[in-house]
Structure 1
Amino acid sequence: MQVGSRRGFLVAAAAITATASVGACRSRRDGGGDPLDVSASANLPVAPESLASDGTTIVLGDPGAPLAVRLYEDMSCPACAEFETEGTAPYLKRAARNGALQLQFTLGSFLGSGSKLAANALRAALDQHMFADYHDLLYRQQSAVRKSGGFTQDRLLGLAIMIPGLRGPEFDAAVLETKHRDFVEAADEALRTSPVLGTPAMAIDGALITSDRHELFTDRSRLYRHLRKAAGATT
């Protein structure tokens, strides 16, 4: 497991007994019942998207939901891409769409200028209420983008064409002029001063998941059980 952060790159090993392995780089209900028990095939509404009052946290889902899951990510982190495409992140997004929790994103950019440009573009997508779709797309395309040199303004605009309605004068100008540079720097500082040593990282109701709980990043069933316990503690 490779861990990357501003504090350096660490190497560790862990046995992952799930269908996907994730390392690290430093409401409307689903048919009733437990809203956390949401299937991959559920027909769900689009989740609300908002910027929290701290100015650095992007919230997916009802910001009033009592259960909060925070994800710390860098858009250029390969382990984050694995978590987002093969790990438990898609389940968390479905749970947010199902009204079970609010999903909070802290976007660091310690991996370089491409990360900063991607974070700025994602903040611009939030203004168009298309953060979630663009966020998913950038992680699906991350591997190919890394091979060609990383995220650039032109590549970010080119990928945005794949999200119907995202491209337009306001979004394009925000990307080309790095309109949200203050957000990018503040979000990166929020990650830097947090207890997080690498990405991806997760905190559930403020409790950081410890490094020995790798299965919560890879195993949907175990994460579901953990969230149920946390939800019970908040009710």
Structure 2
Amino acid sequence: MPVRRTRRLVAAAVSAGLIGLAAVGCSQNRAATAAVVAAAPADRAEVLAQLPAAVRGTKIVVGDERAPHTVTVHVDPRCGYCAKFEGSGGTVLADEAAAGTVRVEYVVASFLDERTGGTASARAANALRASVDAGPGRFALFQAALFASRPDTGADGHGDGFSAEQLLRIADGVAGLRSAAFDRAVREDTHRRWVADAERAFEESGVGGTPTVLVDGAALPGGDALYDPVRFSEALRDAGV
């Protein structure tokens, strides 16, 4: 049952010290919506376009892989709190990655599909994985655009949005992303196995919800700081970044 599974995940997260900046976010027992969603990516395009991305196992790594610190971010494309983070704390991470201070490892989960029905998270995760192959900056720009859009999910966030055509329309706003290969990957769910593996990695991580942020393997304290760029920057500094 989903509730039992969540309790096991939360218990594991507590014992592992992973309950931190995910205290306010999406879980199996929490709605996927948030009052504030991401800012339009046009405001961040110059920074985001600088950021290389690479697939490393079940993670998407953004920034210089030689950076001295690793920030791991667990997200679900359907999670409104993840969208809120993308437009706040996520902008801080983009600046840090562009400066070479951190590399950001994204674990793209899709657990909200089980909770709310449909396969919107999995389809969006597949498209995010496909965007990595389009070249530097495409993943970061597409992720920002995707979280700013969250189409047709309904007032309660439970609709099954992110159809292939919706994802391709979002991709239209990212220069250099649309191609025959990208479109085919989105329409045919080319990376479905990677999406399933990424969800399994999320489930096995002990993290109880999204967004969850770890710095060099340790969770940051204080839930609401995720959504305040000033407080999130301070949390990163306190963690040694």
Structure 2 residue matching 1:187: 3-state secondary structure: helix
Query: 1:146 is matched with which residue?
Result: 153
Segments of 5+ residues of structure 2 without an aligned counterpart are: 8-22, 28-42, 114-118
Larger RCO: 1 or 2 (CA < 8 Å, sep 6+): 2
Which runs of 4 or more aligned residues in structure 1 lie more than 4 Å from their structure 2 counterparts after TM superposition?
none
Query: 2:216 is matched with which residue?
Result: 205
Kindly state the Cα deviation for residue 89 of structure 1 after the two structures are TM-superposed. Answer: 1.1
Kindly state the Cα deviation for residue 224 of structure 1 after the two structures are TM-superposed. Answer: 2.3
Mapping of residues 62-211 of structure 1, within 5 Å: 62-85=64-87, 87-112=88-113, 113-129=119-135, 130-142=138-150, 144-147=151-154, 149-210=160-221
Amino acid at match of 1:111: L
Contact 1:70 1:202 in 2 (8 A): yes
Mapping of residues 25-64 of structure 1, within 5 Å: 25-26=26-27, 44=47, 46-52=50-56, 55-64=57-66
Structure 1 residue matching 2:148: 3-state secondary structure: helix
The CA distance in 2 between the partners of 1:127 and 1:66, in whole Å, is 25
Structure 2 residue matching 1:23: 3-state secondary structure: coil
Structure 2 residue matching 1:68: 3-state secondary structure: strand
C-alpha distance after superposition, 1:162-181 (max 9, x if no partner): 11221111001111111111
Contact 2:91 2:229 in 1 (8 A): no
Count residues in correspondence.
197
C-alpha distance after superposition, 1:53-112 (max 9, x if no partner): xx1110111111121111100000111111112x31111111111111111100000111
Contact 1:5 1:25 in 2 (8 A): no
The CA distance in 2 between the partners of 1:6 and 1:141, in whole Å, is 30
Structure 2 residue matching 1:72: 3-state secondary structure: strand
CA 166–7 in structure 1, closer or farther in 2 if over 3 Å, else same: same
C-alpha distance after superposition, 1:136-189 (max 9, x if no partner): 0000001x4313741111111121111122111100111111111111011101
The CA distance in 2 between the partners of 1:145 and 1:6, in whole Å, is 28
Kindly state the Cα deviation for residue 201 of structure 1 after the two structures are TM-superposed. Answer: 0.7
Query: 2:19 is matched with which residue?
Result: none
Contact 1:5 1:197 in 2 (8 A): no
Q: Decide which structure has greater helix share.
A: 2
Query: 1:7 is matched with which residue?
Result: 6
The one of 220, 225, 228 aligned to 2:234: 225
Segments of 5+ residues of structure 1 without an aligned counterpart are: 9-21, 27-39
The CA distance in 2 between the partners of 1:218 and 1:156, in whole Å, is 25
The CA distance in 1 between the partners of 2:104 and 2:67, in whole Å, is 9
Q: TM-score, normalised by structure 1?
A: 0.76
CA 5–133 in structure 1, closer or farther in 2 if over 3 Å, else same: farther
**Percent identity between the two aligned chains:** 34
Does 71-80 or 149-158 show the bigger shift?
A: 149-158
Structure 2 residue matching 1:185: 3-state secondary structure: helix
Amino acid at match of 1:99: G
CA 5–67 in structure 1, closer or farther in 2 if over 3 Å, else same: farther
Query: 1:29 is matched with which residue?
Result: none
